[in-house]
Structure formats: structure tokens, C-alpha cells
């Protein structure tokens, strides 16, 4: 089916103009000031009136967890619920973290994670491959995974004994990444320091979720950013600091960039709008807001917003990691270290940024598109197939209604979590029509498309 979107205000990372967009064979075929439907083949033509609305490139979430084992349980979503949630919020492509255990085989993990999406996802998807061990067998499997189209690694400077690497293995993994031309995304903290601080707090009887932040303060995150950037400077590897949460960590990354390190910075939606007071809520309510790095002092939010506006911070993801409050979060009733980490935001991200970023004047629409779509496509080897409104790009488009007014609520969520971290908050704007490669998949917050339409996006190693 062909698609004609008429009269919309097209917003890209750099442009802002009114035009018609014609899509056929899953790609954008024509962009012109006015396209007469009578000039087009009449068969199976869908026409969408976008007058008074924005037309964005499909949004890309560069950091999600969908299939996520965690301390004996699994994240609440699968690709059925998560892709519906993403599309309802205007996200048409996600990059999921593959997180195997240290005894798992990397290739088996890649096949497992991919099998969870193949034939089910309604959105397009790709992966970051976590490196949690680095012996000769793992090295060869990582080469094979890169050859299969996964052009980014993930390393953890956290989670001692589970996901962290020794410095020797970190050096080897980053050296391999440089050789293969893939970027290394990094969870920047310090596994040893966090482990020691957690043990100390628990020994003092400080077991509630309000102590999670104290176990991994900003200086720990900043030291992790410094550490990964030092290795990148030594080896020439390109690196990307995920869920960068605070001024101290941002400053370390920018200082490295000034020295010539190829480092990109990611913020995530929860850190932009939630602060540490949420994690301190009584009656264990704070467990709903527990994530790592933790929510920070409110003053850090303006640093993050300012970095996005100036484009010093490249991307906004979610670190979507959905765990139910009524049973899964309860695992940590006696020790905050046992609370599954994560906040569900895959559906809310774009509207949160429009409501609390654009509508408040913290950033403009071009910066919103750049940080929520285009930069992720550029950094991770998908541009201009993704993240662009131009002839030849995939017809992933979002017709966005800036006049919509509503509230964020669990009732409207497609995720399988049992709470909404932004319940009752004002919401300005929403995705009116969302297409994946030219097919309408969501309208006005409802999934109207086809499960299984999503495709695995093979990416080129470009770093």
C-alpha cells in the first residue's frame, strides 16, 4: 500500500518546512510542496491529512531492555507489549541490550534475544551485544555477531561478579572493538566501590530503597566515565556513555572530548524529569523509581537539558526495564540490592521530552528530533535509512499532534508493568499516526497494525 501524508510541518534535526510526503515500497519516494493524489497510482493509496501537525522521522530508542533476566525473574514486557507501547509513543526502532550471564555463550545469547523479537515485534529492532567475559571463544563469537549486523558492544563497569569485566578484559574488548570498527557503549560506575558501599550500608541496617542512591553517588559514575574514556584515549576506540545522569559524569565526558576522545553522551528520560526524592518515598514506594545510575539531585536535570539543547549530549533513550511493583520489586523488601532495577518509559519518552523539554522552552523541535532519532541513527550505523525524512529513507514517520492535551496514566499504557512512574502528569502532544516502513501501525495511542511486521536492522560498523 502507498501512503501520502499531506500538508504536514516536516521537522528534522536541521529543517522545518511544510510539504507533502509520498511513500511507496516501504520508503519515502517523493517530498514536494504539493503532491496531487490524482497524479499517483490510485490503487491502495492511503491519504493522511497532516495539516496543523508535525511530521517527524520515526523515533529511535537507543537503550531498551525487553528480554531481561534479573535475579531469578524476567522483565514484565515482551516484544508484543513493548513494541505496541513504543509505537503508541512514536518510537519505530529500538536498540535492545543483549545481557548474557558470564557463563553463557555470546552467540547463543544473540540468537536467544533475536528469537524473542523475530516474527513478533511490530517495530524494527537491533541490538547492542554485552561483553561480560573475554576469552578466546568469546572473542571469536563476538566477531561473528558483528558480522551478523550488530555494530556495537556494551560493557559494564558495575554489577560485580555478574556483568563487570576486569581491566585486562576491558582492554581486550575495546581493542577488538577498535579493530572491527564498532562503538563501545558503557555503563559507567565502579563495581568494586559499589559492592563495598552496599555491604557497608546493609551492615548498618540501611536496607530500604532510599539508600540505593547513597551506594552509587555521582563521584562513582564520574570515575567510571573517566575510566572508560582513558581506555578509549589509549586505544582509539569510540565510546558512548549510557544513561549519563549527573553533572559530574557529563563534565568528565566533555573533558575527554576536549582531549580528542571520540565519546558520545546519552541521557535517559527518567533522569530528565524524576529526582532522588521519588526513590525516597515511604512504604517501599521508592522501589518503583529504583534504577542504576540512581535518580539524582534535581539540579542535575538542568545540566542534562542544557547539554541536549546545545547538542553536547547526543541522544535521549529510556533504559526501559519494566518490573512489576506488586511482586517483582518486592524481592528487595529486606535489601535494596535485591530490587530489580528499572523504570518503564518506552511509551512515554517522546511525549515527556515534548512536554517538559520543548513546551517549556528548554529545547526546540529540531533538537528533539536530533536527540530522540537522528543522532541514534548516525552513531549506530542506521542513517539515513533511519532518523531522516528524505527520499530513499525508510518510511518510518510520526504525524504528531501538538494540540493534544491529556495526562500520563497506566490506563493508557501498553507495557505490562502495574504502575506508571509519571501517573497523572500533564501531557502536551501525542503521536497521531505512526508508520513503520510505510504501514500505519499506531493511531492516537492505539495499536492498529500488525505484530511481526518489525524487521531486524543489520548495521554497518562505521567507527
User: In this structure, are residues 191 and 337 in contact, taking their beta carbons and an 8 Å threshold?
Assistant: no
Fold assignment, 2-56+392-447 = Urease, subunit C; domain 1 (2.30.40)
User: Along the 463 residues of the chain, how does pLDDT read in single tens digits?
Assistant: 899 999 999 999 999 999 999 999 999 999 999 999 988 987 889 999 999 999 999 999 999 999 999 878 999 999 999 999 999 999 999 999 999 999 999 999 999 999 999 999 999 999 999 999 999 999 999 999 999 999 999 999 998 888 889 999 999 999 999 999 999 999 999 999 999 999 999 999 999 999 999 999 999 999 999 999 999 999 999 999 999 999 999 999 999 999 999 999 999 999 999 999 999 999 999 999 999 999 999 999 999 999 999 999 999 999 999 999 999 999 999 999 999 999 999 999 999 999 999 999 999 999 999 999 999 999 999 999 999 999 999 999 999 999 999 999 999 999 999 999 999 999 999 999 999 999 999 999 999 999 999 999 999 888 8
The helix (run of H) or strand (run of E) holding residue 253 is helix 247-258
Q: What are φ and ψ of residue 162, in 5° steps?
A: -120, -55
Between CA 425 and CA 295 the distance in angstroms is 18
- Residue 343 is classified by DSSP as B
Domain range 58-379, CATH class: alpha beta
- pLDDT in the model for residue 291: 97
Q: For the chain, which residues make up each domain, given as ranges?
A: 2-56+392-447, 58-379
Torsion (CA) 118, 184, 263, 372 in degrees, nearest 10: 10
Pairing status of strand 397-407 against strand 2-11: unpaired
Where do the H-state alpha helices sit in 97-161?
A: 106-117, 136-147
Q: Is the dihedral of CA 15, 16, 21, 25 positive or negative?
A: positive
Exposed, middle or buried: residue 188 (CB in 10 Å: 0-12, 13-18, 19+)? buried
At 58 the pLDDT is 98
How far, in Å, CA of 327 to CA of 323, rounded? 9
Q: How many angstroms separate the CA atoms of 369 and 61, rounded?
A: 12
Amino acid at each position: 500500500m502507498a501512503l501520502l501524508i499531506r500538508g504536514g510541518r516536516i521537522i528534522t534535526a536541521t529543517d522545518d518546512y511544510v510539504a507533502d510526503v509520498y511513500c511507496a515500497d516501504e520508503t519515502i519516494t517523493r517530498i514536494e510542496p504539493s503532491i496531487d493524489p490524482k497524479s499517483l497510482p490510485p490503487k491502495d493509496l492511503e491519504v493522511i491529512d497532516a495539516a496543523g501537525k508535525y511530521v517527524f522521522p520515526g523515533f529511535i530508542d537507543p537503550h531498551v531492555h525487553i528480554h531481561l533476566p534479573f535475579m531469578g525473574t524476567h522483565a514484565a514486557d515482551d516484544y508484543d507489549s513493548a513494541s505496541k507501547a513504543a509505537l503508541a509513543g512514536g518510537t519505530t526502532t529500538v536498540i535492545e541490550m543483549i545481557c548474557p550471564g558470564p557463563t553463557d555463550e555470546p552467540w547463543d545469547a544473540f540468537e536467544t534475544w533475536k528469537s524473542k523479537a523475530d516474527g513478533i515485534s511490530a517495530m524494527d529492532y537491533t541490538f547492542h551485544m554485552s561483553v561480560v567475559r573475554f576469552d578466546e571463544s568469546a572473542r571469536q563469537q563476538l566477531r561473528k555477531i558483528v558480522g551478523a549486523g550488530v555494530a556495537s558492544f556494551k560493557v559494564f563497569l558495575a554489577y560485580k561478579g555478574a556483568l563487570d569485566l576486569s581491566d585486562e578484559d576491558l582492554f581486550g574488548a575495546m581493542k577488538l572493538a577498535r579493530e572491527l570498527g564498532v562503538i563501545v557503549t558503557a555503563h559507567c560506575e565502579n563495581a568494586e566501590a559499589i559492592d563495598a558501599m552496599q555491604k557497608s550500608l546493609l551492615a548498618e541496617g540501611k536496607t530500604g530503597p532510599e539508600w540505593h542512591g547513597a551506594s552509587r553517588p555521582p563521584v562513582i559514575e564520574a570515575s567510571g566515565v573517566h575510566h572508560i574514556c582513558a581506555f578509549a584515549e589509549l586505544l582509539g576506540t569510540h565510546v558512548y556513555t549510557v544513561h549519563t545522569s549527573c553533572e559530574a559524569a557529563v563534565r568528565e565526558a566533555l573533558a575527554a572530548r576536549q582531549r580528542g576522545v571520540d565519546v558520545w553522551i546519552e541521557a535517559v528520560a527518567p533522569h530528565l524529569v524524576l529526582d532522588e526524592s521519588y526513590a525516597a518515598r515511604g512504604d517501599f514506594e521508592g522501589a518503583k523509581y529504583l534504577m542504576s545510575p540512581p535518580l539524582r539531585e534535581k539540579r542535575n536535570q538542568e545540566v542534562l537539558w542544557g547539554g541536549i539543547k546545545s547538542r553536547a549530549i547526543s541522544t535521549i533513550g529510556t533504559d526501559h526495564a519494566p518490573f512489576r511493583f506488586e511482586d517483582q520489586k518486592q524481592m528487595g523488601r529486606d535489601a535494596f540490592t535485591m530490587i530489580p532495577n528499572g523504570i518503564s518509559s518506552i511509551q512515554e519518552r517522546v511525549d515527556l521530552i515534548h512536554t517538559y523539554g520543548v513546551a517549556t522552552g528548554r529545547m526546540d523541535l529540531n533538537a528533539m528530533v536530533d536527540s530522540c532519532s537522528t543522532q541514534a541513527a548516525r552513531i549506530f550505523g542506521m542513517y539515513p535509512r533511519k532518523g531522516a525524512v528524505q527520499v530513499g529513507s525508510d518510511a518510518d514517520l510520526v504525524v504528531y499532534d501538538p494540540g493534544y492535551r491529556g495526562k500520563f496514566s497506566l490506563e493508557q499504557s501498553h507495557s505490562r508493568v502495574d504502575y506508571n512512574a509519571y501517573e497523572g502528569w500533564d501531557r502536551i502532544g501525542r503521536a497521531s499516526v505512526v508508520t513503520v516502513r510505510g504501514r500505519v501501525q499506531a493511531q492516537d495511542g492505539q495499536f492498529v497494525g500488525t505484530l511481526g511486521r518489525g524487521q531486524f536492522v543489520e548495521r554497518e560498523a562505521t567507527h
